[in-house]
Amino acid sequence: MNLPEFHNEPYSDFSAPANREAMEEALSNVRAQFGREYQLRIGSDWIATNDKLNSLNPSNTREVVGIHHRATTELANRAVECAYTYFPAWSRTPAEERVRLLVDAARILRRRKMEFNAWMVYEAGKSWPEAEADVSEAIDFCDYYAREMLRLAGPQKIHQMAGEQDELVYIPLGVGIVIPPWNFPLAILVGMTVASLVTGNTAIIKPSSETPTIAAKFAEVLLEAGFPEGCFTLLTGSGSAVGDVLVQHPKTRFIAFTGSRDVGLRINELAAKTQPGQLWIKRVIAEMGGKDAIVVDADCDLDKAVEGVLVSAFGYQGQKCSACSRAIVDAKVYEPFLDKLAQKAKTIRVGPADDPRNYMGPVISAGARKSILEYIEAGKKEGRLLSGGQAQEGDGYFIAPTIVADVDSKARIFQEEIFGPVLAVTKARDFQHALDLANDSQYGLTGAVFSNDPEHLRQAAEQFHVGNLYLNRKCTGAMVGAHPFGGFNMSGTDSKAGGPDYLMLFLQAKSIARKVS
């Protein structure tokens, strides 16, 4: 089987009238499906439970996007047993057949792109371009991992012993638990799921309780592409209720998690404890939080730095693990940087995500809004409020883009992940001091440096301890294939999603030596 070379999915340009109209139409079609009920499915059984979860539109909380049935612990156990039973058949399905199904899933996603964009706008509060980027990344994951699996299913280069025929083959692990966050409700869910499936594992997907409808729609895509019912289960339910059961089950072989530090550490701890009857050491792939910094050097294009910081801090309301939540600025340009930043921040429009004139939509939930506003109050005491600083009127969870200047590196808003539209700005004595401040964090996910000085860029490449470093560009927007993604320290296991090492995490290598003479 030969596939053409991988290319990133191009973004739809919404300034083109045809794309605009297609998106408007998708929004209205999706809106017409609001309030539909989605049952659970284990194998070929569709299951209703009495415990229902209403997924709301964060731009207008009176609107119910979808109604989902929450799994019980009994169903979680049943899902693992079902995945375990089906594993032998799926793991022996030829890799080329699994790849063919995945390429088909990418094709269906591409065909339904505007529809998925619209679900994203309504269930996750993404602006049109942010939704488009999320769906495009999901397509990229399918296309990229399909090609990677072909590579790994082929002959591997190993030394041949005299008189032997030696080979190394990659085989799947077993039952995987896929636990994604809500902030890339399609891309991250798709990435971890298809990596599990294309490598021959069976998977139980426990989607975020904030974005279950997008997950249900992707489950439809997998079935339409021809993935057998037994190879995956979408198990909607509360992470705290069913998460522990899935993670601790003795037949669970690995957990692919993306989410907060605390939940990731809990999963890691629980998975490390061997259960009665368990035959393996569970593997944990955990991608967690960030407290990402952009360093602004004295010698740089200040307008580009301001633009890079704003886009990274306030794109999708700062709810990206890669979002810039700390700007660390050389004292020589600190005041002019703040002036330009405050001016530009004032032009950011906040409001319902389905209105393309709004750059920022709502934050995801009432809980998130409460927590972010508490951080903003703390920030007002920890520095000088430059812009924003409060919730914004409307029927959704809106918060004004907030900038706090003169923040000390020991302040909470400098150290803790807020996951909202809050930017702390800190003054550095010089470039080395700026790098030291940037590294003064338990996290190490993304970072960026704006500088015209080649020696400073070299210094940053060597010292800035982050999994994804960007020079003279924003610190968000990793592209599959070009920027394998994953962080250091408390940002996780550095799995490098969208890179050549990723699928290896879902496989184990078997060496076969055949005596021939």
Question: Sign of dihedral through CA atoms 457, 463, 469, 475?
Answer: negative
Give me the residue label for tokens 């909380």: 61
Of 211 and 402, the one with the shorter C-beta distance to ligand NAP is 211
Size of the site for ligand NAP (CB under 6 A): 35
Active site residue: 300, 321, 324, 475, which one? Answer: 321
Give phi and psi for 57, each to the nearest 5: -80, 115
Beta strands in 413-471 (DSSP E): 422-428, 443-444, 446-450, 468-471
State yes or no: residue 117 binds ligand NAP (CB under 6 A).
Answer: no
- Is 300 catalytic? The answer is no
Q: Answer whether 260's CB lies under 8 Å from 295's CB.
A: no
**Strands of the 52-57 sheet, one edge to the other:** 36-38, 60-69, 52-57
Pick the piece of the chain touching ligand NAP (CB under 6 A) from 259-267, 386-394, 458-466, 506-514. 259-267
State yes or no: residue 361 binds ligand NAP (CB under 6 A).
Answer: no
Beta carbon of residue 427, minimum distance to ligand NAP (angstroms, whole number): 26
Beta carbon of residue 515, minimum distance to ligand NAP (angstroms, whole number): 46
Pick the piece of the chain touching ligand NAP (CB under 6 A) from 4-12, 42-50, 104-112, 241-249. 241-249
Which residue from 58, 396, 421, 487 is in contact with ligand NAP, where contact means CB under 6 A? 487
Compute and round to an integer the Cα radius of gyration of the chain. Answer: 23
Contact string (CB under 6 A) for ligand NAP, positions 196-235, x = contact: ----------x-xxx-------------------------
State yes or no: residue 263 binds ligand NAP (CB under 6 A).
Answer: yes
At a CB cut-off of 8 Å and minimum separation 6, what does 153 contact?
A: 95, 96, 99, 170
CA distance 201 to 185: 21
- Is 321 catalytic? The answer is yes
Of 144 and 182, the one with the shorter C-beta distance to ligand NAP is 182
Q: How would you write 295-320 as a 3-class SS string?
A: EECCCCCHHHHHHHHHHHHHHHHHCC
At a CB cut-off of 8 Å and minimum separation 6, what does 41 contact?
A: 47, 219, 229, 233, 234
Pick the piece of the chain touching ligand NAP (CB under 6 A) from 225-233, 281-289, 377-385, 389-397. 281-289
State yes or no: residue 259 binds ligand NAP (CB under 6 A).
Answer: yes
In order of 235, 284, 441, the CA distances from 207 in angstroms are: 7, 17, 29
Q: What residues act catalytically?
A: 287, 321
For ligand NAP, the binding residues (CB under 6 A) are 179-184, 188, 206, 208-210, 238-240, 243-244, 247, 258-260, 263, 266-267, 287-290, 321, 417, 419, 445, 485, 487, 491-492
